Structure 1
C-alpha cells in the first residue's frame, strides 16, 4: 500500500481535489471553510454519539464518532495522499489521509473506498463512504452506522482532531474545548476553566487541566458573585455548586433543569462560555 507523498505542493493538492471529485461521478465537493493549513471539520453540524474521552474511558486509543446513514460521502479533512486499509481489525475498512505536514487522518468502519492508494486529494474531496452497520463487510467492531475519526501526529500518537483544529488559530493561546460538541469535560475544558478563574476569580494554581480544591474554590467564588451560589467556599463542589454552574450554562444555550445534576447538555453550555476568545 502506498505511503505518504512527500513535498505535495498547494497546486498539486488543488489538482488532486478535482481528481477526487471525478472519481465519485463528477459531483462537486462542497468547498470547505477557510482553515489554517487547509484543514477543516467535514462533519461540523453533525451530532457526536461518542466523544474522545468516552473512547478513552472504555480502553480505546481515542476517536470521535459521528452517526450517519450507510453510504454517506466522507470528505477529506485536509489535503494529502490516500492509503486504503481493508479490514483494519476492529476499525474495519479504514482510509488514511497522509498530510504533507506529517500528520495522518483516519476514517474507520467504511462501507466503500472510492479512490486508489496513492491518490492525491485536497480538503473536501470525497475519500470514502461511511458504513458501520453491525456485521456488514468493512464494519469491524461497529454496532451501528457511523464514521469514526481520529488523527495521528508525526510521533505516531493518536490525537483528538477537534483539539488539533482548534489549535490551528495560532497566537499561543489555549485551544477551544471539544466539550461544546461532545458534552464531556476533559483536560482542555478544565484548562480553559482555570484560565477563566485566574482572570476573574483570583485562581493562582497551575493551568494544568486537573481541577482540585483551589480550582473549585475559585469557581465557587465566581459563582457566588455572579450566578447565585450561596454555599461555602470550601473547594468541594456539590449540588449547590453545580446548580449555580447550570445557571451560567443557561445563558449559553442550556435549557434543562437547574437541579445540580450535570449532564452533557449542562457541560455543553459551560463549554460554549469557556470557548469565548477572552478565555484563550
Structure 2
C-alpha cells in the first residue's frame, strides 16, 4: 500500500509562505537570476510575426503571439512590475524588471492587473492581452496579439527566445516524475501551468504548490473526474481519488483509493508532460 503525502491546510499555508519569502528574497538580490529562472509563457501559441520579420521592417525587434483579447499574460520570470499606459505605438505596456538587470516587456495590452512596484514570481498574471485595432491600449496593433521582447542590462532590445537558449520555444522541461514516481518542483511547475491553462489558476509557476494550486486542481477534477468536495485548497482522499481517476486515463492501473503513491504520480506526470503544458 502506498502512502499519501500528509498535506494539511496548515502545512500548505506554511509552505506557501516559505516559498513566497524565498521568491521575494530572490527578487530582492540583484544579479541572482539566470536564464534557467525564466520560461516562455506563450509556448502554446503560434508566432504570427517573428524577430527577423520585425527587424526587417525597421522595428527594434519582438515576437508576436496571436491570442484573444483579454487573455491572461503570465510573467516570464520574477521581478518588479511597472505599467505604462502611454507607450506610443506599443500601447499599454507592462515591464518586468528582473534581478539580473534584464527587463521583459509585453505590448498592446487591454488592461493591467497589478500596481506599479508589485514584486512577482515567474508565472504570475501581470496583464491582459489586447491589440484589437483602434481599441484603448492597442497602440499601432492591427489585430489581437501580445508582443514580447526583452531588454538587456545595456539597454539593447533582445530576442527572448534566444535568451532562453537556442531560439527554441523555451517552455517548461518535462518532469522526471513520469519515470521515478516522485513529484518534485518541475512536476509541480507543470501542474501549475496545467491548472493555469485549464482551471483559472493565476498564481506563480514556481513549483511550490499551495492552496491556490490545489483549489484550481480541485475545480478541474470536479468538472472532469468526479470530485465532489469543496475547492478549498486542502486536498484529502477525495481529491486524490479524483486525481487517480485522471491518472487512470494515462496509464495508471492501481486502485482508486485516494492513497497517492509512485504509480499514481507517474500517471499524473504522463498527463502534465503533454506538450501543451510546456
Question: Taking structure 2 as the reference length, what is the TM-score of the superposition?
Answer: 0.49
Larger radius of gyration between Structure 1 and Structure 2 = 1
